[in-house]
Amino acid sequence: MNKIYKLLDEDFIAELFLKKVLPLYPQINKIEKIKITPYKKMIWETTYHVVFSYELFWRNSRQELKKIHIVCSAHSNEPRKNVLDTLNYLWDKGLPDENIKLPRPLFYIEDFQATFYRAVSGKTLLHLIKELDKEAVSALISGAAKMFAKLHQLPIDSSFQFNTSNQRISSVVPGEKFIYEELAARFKNGEDGDLAACYASCVAREKNLFPKEGERSLIHGDAHPENIIKVGENKIGLIDFTDFSPADFARDLGAFIQQIEYKIVRKAEDLEFAREMKKLFLVEYLKSSGKELNENLQERINLYYDWTALRTAVYWFLNHRSSPVNGLELLSAIHERQKTGRNAQDLMINYKS
């Protein structure tokens, strides 16, 4: 049996948390129960990619039932210690403040290649988009712009071991080689809409627009609505730091703009609102960061918009529950933007599927 199933065993987890969690919280002398929920459960014979949720219930001195929410991220082929280290780095550098919340790093278990951290609780931006709560969506997107501006301005400590594999889009998981090989194996005669050619074009454009010696910033690397959390009034949370790396800050901008558009149009079917939110995000970011939207930055935003649409298309083509129709739809959006010469924040793409 795959060893990762131990992290779904309540007795095993109770013993583990007794050793690892209780020393961190002296107010807890006994865990009454643990609720385990698999957020992501991709488990094969010996390999796995999982995210598990643990809700720990305990009683305070007044016998009131309290809860602590802990999340575990584990991958058999990608040690998650970099996530723990990244969170510690961001806490040390002062990214969290009275308005920005991050997961609190707890501990790492080498045997499972698993990082445990205290969760950020609240509604995701995607949830608010689905509810079509325009006021809440607008406020959260504005907050996200300010948060990314602060992240991109943090100092890069040369002594820290960053995950450099995410610095260029050619190496971001699943990676250039895997994509080309899988597409060739699964699709013939242009059935993939020439996705490989589109991918190669994005790689070449990044080399031209952002050379290796380009000035890097700390970026989240996976900026999308499911990773943005409404924690409370005027409080925003950011989660999932697997792709965190020193890279081109425009990658977060182009990625988030594309995902705002994609999710609002598909989930809320409101094209005009999608365009308003894209523009709001970029305007607020530029205001907060003090950066100028010159021609080079605009082209980089367009590049990473295209690449994020392409990355989503790769998911639809190569996922175990593949949907080439959805993938082709995203490729059409890329071609439409390039054909019209429109900038990412000005587009209104109608995703119909």
More confident residue, 139 or 185: 139
How many whole angstroms separate alpha carbon 304 and alpha carbon 301? 5
Amino acid at 167: Q
Scanning the structure block, which residue is given the tokens 């998650």?
A: 80
pTM of the model: 0.93
DSSP 67-98: EEEEEEEEESSS-THHHHHHHHHHHHHT---S
Amino acid at 283: V
Residues 178-198, mean pLDDT to the nearest whole number: 83
Q: For position 348, what pLDDT does the model report? A: 81
Pairing of strands 245-247, 217-219: antiparallel
How many whole angstroms separate alpha carbon 129 and alpha carbon 136? 9
Give per-residue pLDDT as tens, 104-144.
Answer: 999 999 999 999 999 999 999 999 999 999 999 999 999 99
Q: For position 353, what pLDDT does the model report? A: 55
Within 239-343, strands assigned E span 245-247
Q: Which CATH number is correct for 123-346, 3.40.50.2000, 3.90.1200.10, 3.20.20.140, 3.40.50.80? A: 3.90.1200.10
**Residue 330: half-sphere exposure toward Cβ, Cα within 13 Å:** 27
Average pLDDT over the chain, rounded to whole? 93
All structural domains of the chain with their residue ranges: 3-118, 123-346
Amino acid at 216: R
Domain 3-118 has CATH 3.30.200: yes
**What phi-psi label fits residue 163: left (phi over 0), alpha (psi between -120 and 50 degrees) or beta?**
beta
Give per-residue pLDDT as tens, 242-265.
Answer: 899 999 999 999 999 999 999 999
Give per-residue pLDDT as tens, 71-96.
Answer: 999 999 988 999 999 999 999 999 99
